Amino acid sequence: MQSGEINADVTFGERRAHVRAMGGAVKLKARRDAGVMNARERIDALCDAGSFTEIGEFAHSVRLEDAARTPADGIVTGFGKVEGRVVAVASFDLTVLGASSAQNNIRKLGFLKESASRAGAPCAFLIESAGARMPDIQGAAGMGRIGLLNSNNRDRDTPWVSAVLGPCYGMGTWYAVQSDFTSVRRDAAFSVSSPKVVSVALSQEVSPEELGGADVHAEITGFADHVGETDAECIAALRRFLSYLPSHAQEAPPLGREPVEAHDGARIAALIPQARSKVYDGRKLVELVADVGSVLPWRTRFGRTLETALARINGRSVGIVASNPMRKGGAIDGKSCDKMTEFIVLCDSFNIPMLLLADTPGFLVGLQAEHEAVAGKIMNNLRALHLASVPKIAVVVRKSYGQAYLNLGGAGADALAVMTTGEVGFVDPSVAVSVVHNRRPAPDDPAYAELMQDMVASNSPYALAGIFAAHSVIQPAETREWVANMLEVYARRPSAGVGRHRLATWPTSL
Amino acid sequence: MSAIDVKSEISGRVFEIVARPGDRLAEDDPVMILEAMKMEIAVGAPCNGVVKQILVGNEDSIAEGQVVAILEAV
């Protein structure tokens, strides 16, 4: 049954065996030899053992002459469970005509997504695809039918996760870039068009990796939230990400299953340098505030001056945004700003409270930043923070200057604390002295020293708390306790932790 | 063995060169410290490697993206 139509007298058992054989023994062996899972093994890796029920098992190409060589029409779909919770799964089968997109598999995906929305279940996409299938999607009739299916809408009513596990062009890429969490295997690549199409259309000779390799998406586009070495590692990352999220937008996230263990608060005090000129690794602060072992970094290699991570505090999911002074001194550049905005959209859509840890000299300005429209990014970010209805808890760790102070919780946080190490002002005190008093640093100038002293004093935590712009001044060692208390105080009890989701329809990437 | 460029991700002034040719560094170990944004910010090794060459000197002004050292990946 490798080509042509399927005869009416083929039995159920033969039909099922044919579908389970996917693109045939030769192609499956080649994958096994290359250490790559096939589409059904990937489903087994994602789902709890024995929990998967296939939907559309006997669907095939809309062209009956291709029915026999298109088992499941190249995309295996159905429902399984991840840690006991129902998840809709689509696994692209590259052994069947390159898992190319065609009418019936697009209909299967559309049905799966709609069913998942009704069921209140996340969607997981295990992707590799050669792109559109010819001749199925050819000419006005081919494109017209795709338009009638209108299948690329998303309202963030349930979480979406993707693993890109091979070459991927066209439709598969749309799923990768729309997902809340996308893991990319290091040797995989995804882009709108393949190198072949790019070569014909633009006379550009490029490799798949140059167009859309894991490094490109981790560092340049930001589409890769995680990069893994193997299928198993990428799929395990999807399982872990889902553990922090509710099944759908109308419920609160689940509690963690691990026993809660906290780091010693004194380690936070030891991490933060006294000297204003010294830096530290913001990732370590995130680790120390969260429950031990609970941090899942999100999009680590893009916009590194802000760290974003899902974590738990006292077993409850929290989305953490933290300055990383090790990167550009913690100055927020355009990429970091966009990353934070997308992270706010994620947290707000799925009722995950947010913690903002600020240690920043401000937004990175200058020619390049202005030409890249940083002003618009800053206002988008502030607007997202304002529209988000999840609890927003903010801590000024050390410096927080200018507009960046407002964007990191100075404006609109439910609770704002300044550490005793904190300082808030319009700009760095030395810059302020230079600008306001027209004086440059000079070791033997007592007037400069006095002006600096005054300027530093005016930036003190108590100046902020004194006008009740900050709600608390805290010692670094008590940060976790204060944050945990505020997360409990500001839990949205009247709605059982469910927010208003005003960001749910925001663009999927900025 | 491949030569890897160590680039500064921010413009600033060289405050202190920490690593010397021949030093074996782990990823993110500081190669040098820049003074930028009123802070001392490390330029870290992009991967594990041995320092082959330092291309700048103390007090030099560095542009964003400038190659400041060469590592040999190990």
**pLDDT tens by residue, A135-163:** 888 889 888 988 888 777 788 999 999 99
Q: How far is CA A218 from CA A191, A214, A232, A240, A424, in A?
A: 13, 6, 19, 19, 33
Q: For residue A15, what are its two tokens? A: 């039909």
Is residue B42 very low, low, confident or very high in pLDDT (cuts 50, 70, 90)?
confident
pLDDT given at position A73: 97
| C-beta atoms of B39 and A329 within 8 A | yes
Q: Which of B27, B39, B40 to mutate to test the interface with A (most CBs of A within 10 A)?
A: B39
Given the cut 0.85, state whether the ipTM is greater than it.
no
Q: Is the pLDDT of residue B53 over 70?
A: yes
Residue appearing with tokens 């009416």: A8
The CA distance from A165 to A189, in Å, is 8
Residue A41's H or E segment, with its range, is helix A39-46
The CA distance from A150 to A137, in Å, is 14
What does CATH list as the number for B3-73? 2.40.50.100
Q: Would you list the DSSP string of A264-307?
A: -THHHHHHS-SSTT----HHHHHHHHSPTT--EE-STTSSTTEE
pLDDT given at position A2: 58
Bridge-based pairing state of the strands B39-44 and B12-17: unpaired
Residue appearing with tokens 């202005």: A370
| C-beta atoms of B41 and A279 within 8 A | yes
pLDDT given at position A452: 87
Return the residue of B nearest to A359 by Cα.
Answer: B39
pLDDT given at position A444: 81
**Rounded to 5 degrees, what are φ and ψ at A21?**
-80, -5
Selected residue with higher pLDDT from B34 and A316: A316
Q: CB–CB of A290/A311 below 8 Å?
A: yes
Q: Is the pLDDT of residue B1 over 70?
A: no
Smallest CA–CA distance, residue B2 to chain A, in Å, is 18
pTM reported for the whole predicted model: 0.93
Task: Name residues whose C-beta falls within 8 Å of residue A335's C-beta, 6 or more positions apart in sequence.
Answer: A222, A302, A303
pLDDT given at position B37: 74
Q: Is the peptide bond before A135 cis (omega within 30 degrees of 0)?
A: yes
pLDDT given at position A135: 84
Mean pLDDT of B17-30: 93
Q: Is the pLDDT of residue B4 over 90?
A: yes
Decide if A232 touches B, using CB distance below 8 A: no
The CA distance from A307 to A21, in Å, is 44
The CA distance from A92 to A163, in Å, is 11
| C-beta atoms of B39 and A430 within 8 A | no
Return the residue of A nearest to B8 by Cα.
Answer: A328
Q: CB–CB of A275/A398 below 8 Å?
A: no
pLDDT beneath 50, residues of chain A? none
Residue appearing with tokens 């889902």: A242
Q: How far is CA A359 from CA A267, A473, A491, in A?
A: 17, 15, 25
Decide if A331 touches B, using CB distance below 8 A: yes
What does CATH list as the number for A12-243? 3.90.226.10
Q: In what order do the strands lie in the sheet with B24-25?
A: B3-7, B67-73, B49-54, B24-25
Q: The domain A266-422+460-495 belongs to what CATH superfamily?
A: 2-enoyl-CoA Hydratase; Chain A, domain 1 (3.90.226.10)
Using CB atoms, pick whichever of B10, B39, B64 lies closest to residue A277.
B39
Q: Which of B24, B25, B12, B22 is nearest to B56 (CA)?
A: B12
